DNA sequence: CGCGTAGCTTACCATCAGTAGGTTACTTGC
DNA sequence: GCAAGTAACCTACTGATGGTAAGCTACGCG
């Protein structure tokens, strides 16, 4: 089997095993077994257990960014951009099930490089939000935008976990809740006087 | 040295080592060494590596709850309760430095019991928020309050990490940012018509 | 055919969570 | 004072697991 295919297969199995057992309890031997290959192959391709986790995260993060930024691009007003981004975010999370949630929470534990990868992912999300919103800000208030974006990303992450335990909640409802909670406050950052004409 | 004292000392050292190395890389041997005691003592008192982590988390969580609920109780209006709680939260986080941040992020990785402990901590915070706010809600809209509280807790956690990297940010500023972002939206949950007379 | 190399293996090492069993020293009861 | 019990503590080990060394097989290419 060619390397690229094998790598994809390994990452898929790894994501599953990490999700099932948790990062610490997951053993490289088990992953290798399930792939139907010997352990050194994993090390040949990913370098280390942490490297394998990082690869899984990186792939998921790339896809998340693609999905959310596409959604935001397709919308026109800032409000709709944010809402569309949120919906696609909760959609993505739901589609990826616990695997995604676990990857996020697990990664921080590992070491600098996996933690860095997770951070980079959030950074992309916060950058996406703050840069999108900053387009509509009259003054260079982007300074305040960055921490606000942190709050949004963190809040959504948390809410996504909550939604996992309340499966009746739809991505649209989750997004709507976040919008109700923060949109007014967001507007005061984007545009200090609430002028409905702009958004 | 009596057991209670030794346990406190062990937890203090463990918190530090976990923060320095991360949970996975921290070794029980090193913790034992730094305490100046042999490894079986750690197992005698805490049962396992995870048990030690859980003990650290539980202690920090109890203190956090004490601090924030005291602050909220001391304030009178819902807005001031929330603001006071937020300030004391960011104060607490700052005082506990990275140790706290790491404990939060590390714990999820370990296993059900540590993850459960972390969840219990957040549950306490979200319960505190939603029950406090529900006191002022005219209708039993507590259903919506729970996910909103999740968003707040998650957003604050994330913002706290951000503040760690922007040390010029004071707890008051962080709390104020959160208030600006979410208070208006919160009011629409607490009281559908913004009647200043109540709060 | 000979050579390089991609894909893969067995067999091993080192580290570290966790344990068995023993020692010291202090308290308690007579 | 002294035996018994126990709390605090130790040395020395096991088992599991992350990670590695060295080699094997098969294919492409001159």
* Contact criterion met (CB < 8 Å) for A109 and B111: no
| Span A96-109, pLDDT tens digits | 765 666 656 555 55
Q: Distance of CA B45 to CAs A153, B7, B18, B39, B74, Å?
A: 39, 7, 18, 10, 37
> For A107-123, what is the mean pLDDT?
64
Backbone phi, psi, residue B37, to 5°: -145, 170
Q: What is the pLDDT of residue B88?
A: 93
**Which chain A residue is nearest to residue B152, measuring alpha carbons?**
A155
Considering Cα of A22, then A25, then A30, then A32, what sign does the dihedral take? positive
What's the CA dihedral at B82, B84, B89, B92 to 10 degrees?
-170
* Contact criterion met (CB < 8 Å) for A108 and B110: no
Indicate the helix (H) or strand (E) that contains A178. helix A171-190
The pair of structure tokens assigned to B199 is: 């709060």
The pair of structure tokens assigned to B30 is: 């090193």
Determine whether the distance from the CB of B29 to the nearest atom of strand D is below 7 Å: no
Distance, in Å, from the CA atom of B108 to the CA atom of A157, rounded to the nearest integer, reads 14
Task: Give the Cα-Cα-Cα angle A18, A22, A25 (nearest 5 degrees).
Answer: 100
Q: Which of residues 18-77 of B touch strand C (CB under 7 A)?
A: 26-29, 39-40, 43, 48-50
A196 pLDDT more than 60: no
CB contact set of B58 (below 8 Å; sequence gap of 6+)? B117
Q: How confident is the model at residue A19 (pLDDT cuts 50, 70, 90)?
A: confident
> For A8-26, what is the mean pLDDT?
90
> For B57-71, what is the mean pLDDT?
87
Find the residue closest to D21 using CA and C1' atoms: A40
Higher pLDDT, A43 or A163: A43
Determine whether the distance from the CB of A22 to the nearest atom of strand D is below 7 Å: no
CB contact set of A120 (below 8 Å; sequence gap of 6+)? A61
Q: Which of the listed ranges A60-69, A149-158, B33-42 does the model predict with the highest average pLDDT?
A: B33-42
Determine whether the distance from the CB of A41 to the nearest atom of strand D is below 7 Å: no
Specify burial of residue A51 (Cβ count, 10 A radius: 0-12, 13-18, 19+).
middle
Measured between beta carbons, which residues in chain A are less than 8 angstroms from residue B182?
151, 181-182, 185
The pair of structure tokens assigned to B58 is: 């539980």
Q: Which of the listed ranges B129-133, B136-140, B172-176 does the model predict with the highest average pLDDT?
A: B172-176
Contact of B161 with B100, CB cutoff 8 Å: no
CA of B56, C1' of C26: distance in angstroms: 30
* Contact criterion met (CB < 8 Å) for A185 and B185: yes
Determine whether the distance from the CB of B40 to the nearest atom of strand D is below 7 Å: yes
> For B123-151, what is the mean pLDDT?
77
Q: For residue A47, give the nucleotide whose C1' atom is nearest its CA.
A: D19
What's the CA dihedral at A177, B181, B71, B61 to 10 degrees?
60
Higher pLDDT, A98 or A34: A34
What's the CA dihedral at B160, B89, B132, B105 to 10 degrees?
50
* Contact criterion met (CB < 8 Å) for B184 and A189: no
Determine whether the distance from the CB of B154 to the nearest atom of strand D is below 7 Å: no
Chain C nucleotides covered by protein, CB below 7 Å: 6-11, 15-21
| Span A79-90, pLDDT tens digits | 898 899 999 999
* Contact criterion met (CB < 8 Å) for A156 and B151: yes
Average pLDDT across chain A, whole number: 82
Task: Give the Cα-Cα-Cα angle A94, A60, A75 (nearest 5 degrees).
Answer: 65
Q: How confident is the model at residue A115 (pLDDT cuts 50, 70, 90)?
A: low
- pTM for this entry: 0.82
Determine whether the distance from the CB of A3 to the nearest atom of strand C is below 7 Å: yes
Give CA A125 to chain center in angstroms.
7
Q: How confident is the model at residue B101 (pLDDT cuts 50, 70, 90)?
A: low
Distance, in Å, from the CA atom of B2 to the CA atom of A26, rounded to the nearest integer, reads 38
What is the SS3 string spanning chain B? CCHHHHHHHHHHHHHHHHHHHCCCCCCHHHHHHHHCCCHHHHHHHHCCHHHHHHHHHHHHHHHHHHHHHHHHHHCCCHHHHHHHHHHHHHHHHHHHHHHHHHHHHHHHHHCHHHHHHHHHHHHHHHHHHHHHHHCCCCCCCHHHHHHHHHHHHHHHHHHHHHHHHCCCCCHHHHHHHHHHHHHHHHHHHHCCCCCCCCC
B112 pLDDT more than 70: no
Chain D nucleotides covered by protein, CB below 7 Å: 7-12, 16-22
% of chain B residues with pLDDT over 70: 81
* Contact criterion met (CB < 8 Å) for A105 and B105: yes
Helices B28-35, B39-46: crossing angle, 10 deg rounding: 100
A195 pLDDT more than 60: no
% of chain B residues with pLDDT over 90: 35
Q: What is the pLDDT of residue B3?
A: 93
Higher pLDDT, A117 or A75: A75
* Contact criterion met (CB < 8 Å) for B151 and A106: no
Distance, in Å, from the CA atom of B171 to the CA atom of B176, rounded to the nearest integer, reads 8
Q: Which of A151, A157, A190 to mutate to test the interface with B (most CBs of B within 10 A)?
A: A151
């Amino acid at each position: 089997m060619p390397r690229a295919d094998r790598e994809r297969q390994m990452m898929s199995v790894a994501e599953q095993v990490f999700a099932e057992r948790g990062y610490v309890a997951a053993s490289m031997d088990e992953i290798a077994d399930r792939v139907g290959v010997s352990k050194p192959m994993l090390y040949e391709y990913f370098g280390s257990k942490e490297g394998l986790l990082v690869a899984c995260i990186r792939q998921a993060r790339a896809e998340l960014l693609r999905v959310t930024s596409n959604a935001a691009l397709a919308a026109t007003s800032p409000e709709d951009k944010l809402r569309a981004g949120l919906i696609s975010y909760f959609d993505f999370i739901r589609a990826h099930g616990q695997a995604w949630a676990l990857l996020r929470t697990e990664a921080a534990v590992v070491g600098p490089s996996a933690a860095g990868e997770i951070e980079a992912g959030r950074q992309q999300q916060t950058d996406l939000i703050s840069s999108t919103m900053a387009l509509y800000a009259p003054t260079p208030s982007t300074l305040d935008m960055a921490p606000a974006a942190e709050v949004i990303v963190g809040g959504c992450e948390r809410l996504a976990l909550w939604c996992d335990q309340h499966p009746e909640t739809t991505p649209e409802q989750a997004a709507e809740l976040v919008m109700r909670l923060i949109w007014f406050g967001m507007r005061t950052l984007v545009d200090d006087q609430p002028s409905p004409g702009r958004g």
